[in-house]
Amino acid sequence: MKKDTHPKYFHNCKVFHNGELVMTCGATVPELHVEVWSGSHPFFTGKQAFVDSAGRVERFQRKFAGNYFKDKKKG
């Protein structure tokens, strides 16, 4: 087998959610910072949570505000 072809593997990779350590696993990086994990996902918890990534809601509201739909022809 060739040397230096595989990345370094960390057996104790720490996974953080909202700054809190939630689990450890094996990965090619020593730390992972995630926005959503099974302990916070609505499918597993039954609770609805709102995640806004990079202002997508504000961008959507700006795009579709005003007369956006009035200018479209029905067809």
The kind and range of the H/E element at 25 are: strand 20-27
Containing 14, the helix (H) or strand (E) segment is strand 10-17
Give residue-wise pLDDT tens across range 22-68.
Answer: 999 999 999 999 888 877 777 777 776 566 666 777 778 788 877 76
* Cβ–Cβ < 8 Å for 49, 37: no
Residue 71 pLDDT greater than 70, yes or no: no
The pLDDT of residue 42 is 72
